[in-house]
Structure 1
Amino acid sequence: MTSPSEGPRSGLKNPQAAVRGIGAGTLVMEAIILLLAIQPIRIMGGSLSGWGIASVIGLAVVAIALSGMMKRSWAWTAGLVLQILLAACGFFHYSLAILGLIFGAAWIYALSVRRTILGRPGLL
């Protein structure tokens, strides 16, 4: 039996690796969707400027880079900042703000799963 100080047992053999996988998977999925979203925005009448396209590509590259750094504790905070930056890209096109809200919610869920599995108090 576990004592309350040990935190909840998840039943996973390596809970930290599982949590890193959730974070990395979320970021990779976000990068793929961001890159795939560029062309439909342009075709369906969106006026996505060169700066908008560059910011989307830059955010996708940052998401892929962060997915490989999930062992570092600061990467979780950086992932949250990435979601805020994506929502701020709504100034280029409203659909980017919508994607920012969707992936922000997914990231908050990943943080919640991380907290539940690792038994750490607080959001980050």
Structure 2
Amino acid sequence: MTDPVDERPAGDPDRPGPEAGASGPDATGGTDGPGERRSGLRNPAKAVRGLGAGTLALEALVLLLAIQPIRVVGGDLSGAAIGAIVALAVACVVLAGRMGRPWAWNAGTVLQGLLMLSGLLHWSLLVLGVIFALVWAYALHVRRVILG
């Protein structure tokens, strides 16, 4: 008795193998050629730009939404601290729109440092800075893994 999988034609998309678009080692033991995608993404650079822009947009939203809870729970939030929060949120939005530029990832790293530095104005900004610095570090790691 034969296995019904063996009776399928070679071009069948349900049949495993290199003709079905599998990546990685093929049936002959070789690996993908130098011109083929390693990540499986259609446009890895665009995906990474989206990751960076999304991270910065989320950071801007959290910064702006954090003003009132910090004032209520955290106590004394000075005008300078509120100004720093708004300025950092605007910088995040502007930088999110510029993620296609080669300097944008470095500027995002500097932005995380500035947020942690604003912790001198209020301790909760330091906490937010550490959290978003870790998120940004993960985004940088994903960028390095995908783009090489």
Q: Could you state the TM-score of these two structures normalised by the residue count of structure 2?
A: 0.76
User: Partner of 1:26 in structure 2?
Assistant: 55
CA deviation after TM superposition for structure 1 residue 73, in Å: 1.2
User: Partner of 1:50 in structure 2?
Assistant: 79
The answer as to 2:66 corresponding to 1:2 is no
Unpaired runs of at least 5, structure 1: 120-124
RMSD, aligned α-carbons: 1.4
Paired residues for 1:42-121 under 5 Å: 42-119=71-148
CA deviation after TM superposition for structure 1 residue 7, in Å: 9.4
CA deviation after TM superposition for structure 1 residue 45, in Å: 4.0
Return the structure number with greater helix share: 1
Cα distance between partner residues in 2 of 1:16 and 1:45: 40
User: Partner of 2:3 in structure 1?
Assistant: none
User: Partner of 1:122 in structure 2?
Assistant: none
Aligned length: 117
Counterpart residue identity of residue 74, structure 1: W
Counterpart residue identity of residue 102, structure 1: I
Q: Could you state the TM-score of these two structures normalised by the residue count of structure 1?
A: 0.90
In structure 2, relative to structure 1, the CA distance for the partners of 1:8 and 1:108 (3 Å cut) is farther
Return structure 1 stretches of 4+ with deviation > 6 angstroms.
none
Counterpart residue identity of residue 26, structure 1: T
Specify the SS of the correspondent of 2:66: helix
Q: Percent of pairs identical after alignment?
A: 57
Unpaired runs of at least 5, structure 2: 1-31
User: Partner of 1:40 in structure 2?
Assistant: 69
Q: Is the 8 A contact 2:115 2:129 kept in 1?
A: yes
